[in-house]
Every structure is written in C-alpha cells, then in structure tokens.
C-alpha cells in the first residue's frame, strides 16, 4: 500500500495507486491522481539501481549502477493490461472483500478463488477452477476479483470472455473475412483466461467446434483457465429429479426446469468435460443459493415507514 508524504492513505485509491471505474460496458483502470507524478523518478520513468558482481577473482566484487525502469512504469503497464482484459463494467468494483456469502458453498468458492489469486505461481503449473450455480450467486463477481488481482497485483496478462458474445464476435469476423482462429488465437495464448456462462448457447456444431478448439489449445499448452456456469456439475442431479408439479406451467417455466436439471457435461460433451476435470477444481453452489440481484431489487421496492405525522389506517 502506498501512502502520501504526510503518511495519509489516498482517499480515492486507498493506497493502491490505481482506480477502477465503469466505462460503458467495460471496467476501466487508471493511475490515481496521487501517483501520476512519481516521487521516486520525478516523472522520468527510470531510476538507478545498485548492483554487485564479480568480474575478476583478483579484483573481487564490484558495485555499479544501472538505469532501470521505475516501479511507476510497471504500474502503468499493469493498468494498460487490465484495460485489455474485457471485464464487465457492472463488475468494476467487485472484490473478494465485498463478495457476500450466504452459505458454506459460497464461502468455499470465495476461498478457492482467493487462494488461487494470492498463491498463483508464475513459474509453475496452476490448476484453474469451475464455479457452478444459479444465476445471481456471484460467480462472475469472483472471476472478476480473481483477474483483477492477477493483472494489477501479480502482473499477469489475462482475458475475460462471455461465451455467447465470443460466438457472436467470431460470426461477425466471418463477415469481415476473418477466420475463427484469428480471434481464438490470442485467447489461446493468454496466461489466464476466464470463460463465463459455459454451456450457454444453442449447442450448434459451430459453437461446439469453437469451444472445443479453444479449450483444446489451452489444454495442450498447459494454460490456466477459469470457468463459470449455470449448469450443474453433479452427476447425482439426474437421480434427484423432482416429480412434475401439478397445475399450469408456461413454456418458459418448462424450459427453466429442464435447464436446472441439465448437467454441464451434457452441454459441452464428454471430451471437453473430461479436460475440465483435469484442468480445474470444481465448486457447486446449491440451487437454493439466493439470487443477490433479485434480493437487492426486492429490498428496493419494499415499502418504507410512513412519513412522520401520518398514521396507518386499521
């Protein structure tokens, strides 16, 4: 954490030296005003570093100075990389600290994501994770918090993609004369990739081939991949199928019920699912986990107390 010369922590960035804001549909980072003028290099971008090396056994070790990039240049580079990740603007302020857990599974999901982010081994092999659960339970929040830490604090390059938007981007690319490989290529090579809404889509041959190619490339290269999905990971869900309720059901109700019982293995196929089992740790949030967006909406429309001086009628 960086503090001002007075010893106070900056009220805008909290000492992180960068600020994350929402710009349109994307999260955007910038260097905080408190750090735009670096006190170490006085804005030059480079500083001198003292090193020691033995060039001759007779002379012994010698100390010398070399010109190296200042830490402010590393910060600017990380901020630039963050703005290439493609995180959703609605998640601009998502962190591990403001993630609300309502059950043990959500606690486990947060702890898994935090451990992954804070113990990432830049020189080793890192197993990714898959977060499965109902809509509105914070899966994208945790993906965002993880990538934020990896890019801004660890210095990695990462990308975030929502799978149906990736399919749409590739289709548009076809109209512009691009191949799918041109779009998938950068996603295949990036150090950490987060794929949101895994299993979403129509399951067409084009979608399945695109997903299979992307995951196969990353699997073969030993790249780390994170996933979030609304479809269940649990094979036992088949055995737990509830009897059909009596009474009227809309077509949408039937579709939702069918999706709730569908497994991610069925959505992506055995080949991709097998690779997920090797590439990732799994965390499943139970079906009864509350939808946080819905909870906020219900709290917003809840009637408040009557104005002072007015009595309720009985």
pLDDT, mean of residues 286-301: 76
pLDDT band at 240, cuts 50/70/90? very low
pLDDT band per the 50, 70, 90 thresholds, residue 248 = very low
- Rounded to an integer, the average pLDDT of 31-35 is 87
CA-based R_g, the chain, Å: 25
pLDDT band at 110 (very low <50, low <70, confident <90, very high): very high
HSE on the CB side for 13, CA within 13 Å?
A: 18
- pTM to 2 decimals? 0.80
Integer Cα distance of 91 and 21 in angstroms: 9
Give pairs for 166-170: CB < 8 Å, separation 24+. 166/210, 167/201, 167/206, 167/207, 167/210, 170/210
pLDDT tier at 184, thresholds 50, 70, 90: very high
Cβ contact 127:259 at 8 Å: no
Mean pLDDT of the chain: 85
244 SS3 class: coil
Which range is most confident: 25-39, 230-244, 268-282, 284-298?
Answer: 268-282
Please give the average per-residue pLDDT across 229-248, as a whole number: 60
- pLDDT tops 90 at residue 283: yes
- 8-12 long-range contacts, Cβ below 8 Å, gap at least 24? 10/34
Each domain of the chain, given as residue ranges in start order, spans 18-76, 90-240+251-298
pLDDT score of 312 more than 60: no
CB neighbours of 205 closer than 8 A, spacing ≥ 6? none
Query: Which residue, among 170, 136, 129, has the nearest Cα to 284 in the 3D structure?
Result: 129
CA-based angle 43:45:46, to the nearest 5? 125
HSE-up of residue 51 (Cα within 13 Å, Cβ side)? 10
Beginning with the edge strand found earlier in the chain, give each strand of the sheet holding 128-132 in spatial order: 158-162, 192-196, 224-229, 128-132, 280-284
Average the pLDDT over each of 37-41, 142-146, 217-221, 228-232 and give the range with the smallest value: 37-41
What pLDDT was estimated at residue 99?
A: 96
DSSP letters for 190-220: SSEEEEESTT-S---HHHHHHHHHHHHHHHH
Could you tell me the CA-to-CA distances from 261 to 20, 66, 240, 281 in Å, in that order? 38, 62, 9, 21
pLDDT in the model for residue 300? 60
From the options 3.40.50.300, 3.40.50.1860, 3.10.129.10, 1.10.3720.10, give the CATH code of 90-240+251-298: 3.40.50.300
Question: What pLDDT is recorded for position 254?
Answer: 46
Q: What is the pLDDT of residue 307?
A: 56
Average pLDDT over residues 167-173: 95
More confident residue, 264 or 297: 264
Residue 289 has pLDDT above 60, yes or no: yes
**261 pLDDT higher than 90:** no
pLDDT of 32 strictly over 70:
yes
């Amino acid at each position: 954490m960086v503090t001002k010369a007075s010893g106070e922590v900056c009220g805008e960035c909290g000492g992180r030296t960068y600020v994350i804001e929402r710009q349109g549909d994307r999260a955007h980072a910038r260097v905080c005003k408190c750090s735009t003028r670096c006190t170490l290099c006085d804005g030059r971008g480079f500083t001198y570093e003292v090193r020691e090396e033995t060039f001759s056994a007779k002379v012994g070790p010698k100390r010398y100075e070399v010109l190296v990039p200042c830490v402010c240049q590393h910060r600017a580079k990380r901020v630039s990389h963050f703005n290439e990740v493609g995180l959703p603007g609605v998640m601009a302020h998502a962190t591990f600290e403001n993630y609300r857990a309502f059950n043990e599974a959500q606690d486990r999901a947060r702890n898994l994501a935090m451990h992954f982010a804070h113990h990432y081994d830049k020189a080793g092999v890192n197993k990714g994770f898959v977060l499965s659960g109902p809509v509105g339970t914070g899966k994208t929040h945790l993906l965002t918090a993880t990538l934020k830490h990896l890019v801004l604090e660890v210095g990695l390059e990462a990308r975030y993609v929502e799978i149906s938007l990736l399919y749409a981007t590739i289709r548009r690319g076809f109209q512009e004369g691009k191949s799918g490989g041109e779009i998938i290529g950068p996603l295949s090579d990036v150090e950490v990739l987060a794929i949101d809404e895994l299993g979403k889509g129509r399951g067409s041959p084009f979608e399945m081939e695109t997903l299979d190619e992307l995951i196969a490339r990353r699997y073969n290269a030993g790249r780390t991949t994170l996933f979030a999905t609304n479809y269940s990971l649990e094979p036992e869900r088949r055995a737990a199928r509830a009897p059909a309720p009596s009474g009227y059901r809309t077509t949408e109700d039937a579709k939702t019920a069918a999706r709730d019982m569908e497994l991610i293995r069925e959505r992506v196929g055995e080949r991709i699912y097998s690779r997920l089992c090797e590439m990732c740790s799994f965390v499943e949030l139970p079906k009864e986990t509350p939808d946080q967006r819905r909870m906020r909406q219900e709290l917003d429309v809840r009637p408040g107390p009557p104005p002072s001086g007015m009595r309720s009628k009985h």
